[in-house]
Amino acid sequence: MSVVWTCVLTCFNCEEHFILNRLSIEKAIAAMSAFPCPHCGAKPRTGGGHRVISLSIASLPFRKATDGAVWHYSQYCSQWPADDFLELDFPPLAEICNECRALVGT
């Protein structure tokens, strides 16, 4: 399983913070020098990119099929909803899939 990251950046131009979520480490590094600021639109220049405020492992979202009863959090689960689903970025107060628990080891 590949790790996904949440990257909090500060714009080199306007100094506003913004978050890029669920990136590979390669894309997080590339974002510092290529991603335009969502606040002012400035694109980093050679020698002056956005600054990283924090970089942390992102959690995958919790998903449940619209007509389902169980929430999933492993994209490798045989029941991971790909279409017609609800999604949360925090643990639900409902039943969690046992296969997801076994795959992730929690």
26 and 48 housed in the same domain: yes
The domain boundary, picked from 57, 78, 94, lies at 57
The pTM (predicted TM-score) of the whole model is 0.58
46 and 65 housed in the same domain: no
66 and 53 housed in the same domain: no
pLDDT for the residue numbered 1: 46
- Total structural domains in the chain? 2
What's the mean pLDDT in 65-70? 94
Tell me the residue range of the domain where 104 lies. Answer: 60-106
Alpha carbons within 13 A on the beta-carbon side of 43: 3
What's the mean pLDDT in 11-36? 88
50 and 70 housed in the same domain: no
The region, left, alpha or beta by phi > 0 then psi within -120 to 50, assigned to residue 47 is left
DSSP notation for 68-92: -SSBB--TTSTT---SSEEEESS--
Provide the token pair at 18: 């913004």
